[in-house]
Amino acid sequence: MATAAEQWVLVEMVQALYEAPAYHLILEGILILWIIRLLFSKTYKLQERSDLTVKEKEELIEEWQPEPLVPPISKDHPALNYNIVSGPPSHNIVVNGKKCVNFASFNFLGLLDNPRVKAAALASLKKYGVGTCGPRGFYGTFDVHLDLEDRLAKFMKTEEAIIYSYGFATIASAIPAYSKRGDIVFVDRAACFAIQKGLQASRSDIKLFKHNDMADLERLLKEQEMEDQKNPRKARVTRRFIVAEGLYMNTGTICPLPELVKLKYKYKARIFLEESLSFGVLGEHGRGVTEHFGISIDDIDLISANMENSLASIGGFCCGRSFVIDHQRLSGQGYCFSASLPPLLAAAAIEALNIMEENPGIFSVLKEKCKRIHKALQGISGLKVVGESLSPAFHLQLKDSTGSREKDVKLLQEIVNHCMDRSIALTQARYLEKEEKCLPPPSIRVVVTVEQTDEELERAARTIKEVAQAVLL
């Protein structure tokens, strides 16, 4: 019965088909033709092909000269004449067989040679072995890692922290995790190379403002605000970030954090602070530039620091609110795709944190020493001190440059060599000249650590003065 009913309906349908209005049949015909065209059309890319004729292509191919695989460089390129250090780069460093006082390694709190740190690392070595052989998501998470993250979060008084296994990769993975194409980042001209690489990887629009110049930054922010008002729908989707360093490695100055926070709230941007040199140096308890200025840490969205300087370990960490840091666990490239920190280094970092928490007096000692050597080095003929008096890593630049960067570098290298002969180990600040966005002038970088005694500081200041007199005059 059902089939008969259906068939009857079908007959009715076919009848109706014959009575169909004309426009419908035309439409159906068009649609069938469209289907056939679709079925037979080829796939092609939307971007237009380049309009080079065959002849032009041949010309271009003939013009091309292969560059040599190894470009010719001069014999005294610094990478070819390096100094060989035997033994640990602690307070007394053995360079090329000569024992010197170390004014070049970033060992601010002297924790590199600390017996407690070494004992903790050895104990952890015996327990866990040397490496982790895996990223964090793939059996590379050990209890020391979680311990260290906890301790760092508690020390910096934030909700959560995340550990990276290489200091350079910390900020270079943290920035692209949040800032994508179409977002805007305002960054200082003197930002360090790691920040520059992170910004390059993030493919966002970068706006540089003059070093520590809040008026310039405000001008850029205002321009951006005017653009936003023209196109509010786009503005609602773009994110704005300000990236600044607590203590700049290239100039030794401290960023004006209170003004940055004010600008942040006025123009609705997010602040990423890079505290590699200021963690364990500034502030009463070593918590960095936020403690130094007395700003609540909740105002800063992300603090990223490098454990290779004060904590005398390897790796880096980011700390902030849970909501922010958790995102990096899946999208921080250096976290997900490289092996985690070796547990002996994590244990060493925990012990170093213990030491930092136990005697907060070392920070004021360090500040004293910085001020002292800063004063002692003023007034050298031919060299000027670049950096704040509180900064333990400052630069000595030539007062009047000779005009060519190579000659400057050679002069400074002579000064460094003479100082090394008198057993003061200094180094020049090295940059990848072709890759940096704003190349700083060549300089000698002097680092003050807690372990240097006052007389060593005096001797160093005297030596640098005499050498500078001899070389530059």
Partner 1 sequence: VILLHIPFFSMPVVCTLTNVIHNLAMYVFLHTVKGTPFETPGQGKSQLLTHWEQMDFRLQFTSSRKFLSISPIVLYLLASFYTKYDAAYFLNTASLLSILLPKLPQLHGVHLFGINKY
Q: What is the binding site for partner 1 (CB under 8 A)?
A: 9, 12-13, 16-17, 20-21, 24, 27-28, 31, 34-35, 38-39, 41-46, 176, 180-183, 201-204, 233-234, 236-237, 330-331
Between 75 and 230, whose beta carbon lies closer to partner 1? 230
Residue 331 beta carbon to partner 1: minimum distance, rounded to whole angstroms:
6
Report yes or no: 186 and 243 within 8 Å, Cβ to Cβ. Answer: yes
For 227, left (φ over 0), alpha (ψ -120 to 50), or beta? alpha
Residue 333 beta carbon to partner 1: minimum distance, rounded to whole angstroms:
9
Distance CA 173, CA 118 (A): 29
Between 180 and 219, whose beta carbon lies closer to partner 1? 180
Between 336 and 472, whose beta carbon lies closer to partner 1? 336
Q: Which residue has the tokens 């840490």?
A: 297
Is residue 2 exposed (0-12), middle (13-18) or buried (19+ Cβ within 10 Å)?
Answer: exposed
Q: Phi/psi of residue 163, each to 5°?
A: -105, 135
Between 38 and 215, whose beta carbon lies closer to partner 1? 38
Residue 339 beta carbon to partner 1: minimum distance, rounded to whole angstroms:
20
Between 13 and 80, whose beta carbon lies closer to partner 1? 13
Q: Extract long-range pairs of 194-197: CB within 8 Å, 24+ residues apart.
A: 194/167, 194/168, 194/169, 194/170, 194/274, 195/171, 195/243, 195/245, 195/274, 196/435, 196/436, 196/437, 197/168, 197/172
Distance CA 89, CA 104 (A): 9
Residue 242 one-letter amino acid? I
Between 14 and 54, whose beta carbon lies closer to partner 1? 14
Distance CA 453, CA 458 (A): 9
Q: Which residue has the tokens 């070819």?
A: 80
**Closest by CA position to 132, among listed 281, 315, 396, 323:** 315
Between 35 and 470, whose beta carbon lies closer to partner 1? 35
**Closest by CA position to 120, among listed 147, 138, 81, 86:** 147
Between 16 and 70, whose beta carbon lies closer to partner 1? 16
Between 46 and 79, whose beta carbon lies closer to partner 1? 46
Between 27 and 122, whose beta carbon lies closer to partner 1? 27
Distance CA 229, CA 231 (A): 5
Residue 178 beta carbon to partner 1: minimum distance, rounded to whole angstroms:
11
Look up residue 251 and give its DSSP letter: T
Beta bridge partner(s), residue 302:
272, 320
Residue 313 beta carbon to partner 1: minimum distance, rounded to whole angstroms:
30
Residue 48 beta carbon to partner 1: minimum distance, rounded to whole angstroms:
12
Distance CA 289, CA 254 (A): 8
Distance CA 182, CA 185 (A): 10
